[in-house]
Every structure is written in structure tokens, then in C-alpha cells.
A = this chain, B = another copy of it.
């Protein structure tokens, strides 16, 4: 009986269960629809016109409003948790995230993870696993992919270490890899009043910093509703009975929730950065808990035209989120680390329309 029980319940992979080159197909496929888009909107208050109104989307060249890029990311990510990070000690980082194809209501997403790196820790109790995860639509087209690395416990400390393989990751996604999810944009039809800002690609300059002003306080019900919407099953987000006895004494909020909040806040200053084309990297510097208030600011790291396109340009943006601390003075580093209230340091490429 005990054996039958053990075999029915997924315990997640341990470090020694991963093999270089192996591709893991994840459960559960998910059809995204208008209901998911409404919930996403209600959870974060996002106001980007493209994702909010079919009329706006059609006017500029999309067939209809696409699913928010970050929502698609969360759904693809959520599926990987049960197979990749159920026994994780820590999520260490992600990089090379490319949004390859737009996702529309009615599309069904599935995901896979290819093991591209393994490195046992010197204490032999855990190791770092690198996976390249890919999200696909119902036609088998890749909609997004990214690399994630995570520290995973070993089942047995005596099991032998695999040969260490650490993938080379680019610091930023190449310009040639940006924009395939964005159709040709009708610059003249892009209505800056409806979109909420007169500032287009040309108005941003490298080094510019923008305080996104507003703050949003997060509630337990909100982050759990969001994280379940993504079918992300990481235990730390949901179970106060066990987390109450854990390191923080409380439920930890999914890092992706912070990204979505920061992206929604960034509307005030970046309203025309309508599409996230790539995430170069992200660090969750400190945990967020219910009751905390999230603020954000951004720095324009780089601006670049896109090869072969004159409709949109790429802004490389660093968005920093804090908790319980307004961002008027752009808090960031302190000594070798971060100021205590910084929770997210995100580096991404966003597309904005060029002037007609």
C-alpha cells in the first residue's frame, strides 16, 4: 500500500534526477482566454492600450489584443515548477528570455524544459540545474523561451556528482532576436492620447531614470489567486501552516507577481513601451510579503533601432521594484549589494513605436 501511495504522488525531481540534454515535457496544457486576461488586468491594474482594447490592437496592426507578455510567461513558467523546482532551495536567476510569437485568446500553451547545465555544490547536498524552458502554442510554434537556473536538493548526498556543465549565457538578448512577436506597427494609427503618453521611442535616452510614482499594497488573496491562475504549485506561496514554521514565518509571494506589479506601475512613464520583447535577466533581491506596498522606477539602459524595421524601436530598460519605500530617489545598490527595500532588479527589452 505504501509503495502504491508513493508512486502515485509526484515528489518532484532531485538534483541527481536531471540529465544533461534531457527534455522534460510538462503538464498541464492551458487554453488562455478573455477570462484570464480580465483577471490579469484586475490583479495588477495594467493599462497598456494594446492589451486592453481590441480596437487599439487592430488599428496598429495586431489581429486583436494579445495576451499580456508577462501573463504568457507566468503560464509557461508555472508548468515547469512541478518538474524542475519542487525541491528547489533557491531560484537563482533567469536570462535569455525571448518572446517569439504573440499569444492570443484561445491559444493553448504547453511547455518543456531542456536540461542545459548541472553543477553540484561543494557541500554535495544540492546542485545547480540550468534549464532552457520553452512555451508552445497549439500549432507547436514556440511562443517564448528562457533559461532558468535553480539550486535543487539531492535525494541522496552520496550519489555521484555529474560532470559540471555551465552554459554560457548572453548578457542581453541580441537585437536580431527581438520583435518577431510584434507585427508591423502602423505608426500613424498609433493614438498617443488613447495610449496615455506622447512619448515614443525617440523620446527616451540612455541614462534617463523614471520614477513610476504609485504604490500598490499586496494582499494574500491576490497573490494566491494570481499564482493559481498560472497553475504554479510552488508550496511556499500557499501554505501558511507550513510556512508559519519556516524561515519567514509566512507565505512568500511568487517573484513573478512582483514583475507583473512593476510592469503595471511602469505604465506611468513607459505607457508606449507596449511589448516586452525579451528579458535579459532578473534578480529577486529580497522577498515580498502580503501587506507590503510595491513601488518601482526604471532606467533606460540603451535605445536601439531594430534591424530592418522602421516602425518600432527597442528600449533596454532596467526596472527596479521596492517594498514600503517610494522610488523618488531611485534606490538601488548599497555597497556590494542592494538597498534593503529593493526587491527586484529586472533588465529587459521593450518595444515602443517610432514617430511617424
Contacts and interface: CB of A to CB of B under 8 A. Distances in A.
A240 interface: yes
How many copies of this chain does the complex contain? 3
A291 B47 contact: no
A42 B196 contact: no
User: Is chain A's interface secondary structure helix, strand, loop, or mixed overall?
Assistant: mixed
A219 B217 contact: no
Interface in A224-249: 224-229, 231, 233, 235, 238-242
9 contacts: A4-B208, A31-B55, A42-B229, A55-B108, A217-B224, A217-B239, A219-B221, A219-B224, A220-B221
A278 to B, nearest CB: 22
Contacts of A295: 241
Number of chain A interface residues as a range: 35 or more
A305 B195 CA distance: 43
Contacts of A39: 35, 38-39, 42
B228 A42 contact: yes
A212 interface: yes
The 6 closest A-B pairs by CB, nearest first: A35-B38, A27-B196, A45-B228, A35-B35, A29-B53, A241-B293
Contacts of A65: 31
A163 B167 CA distance: 70
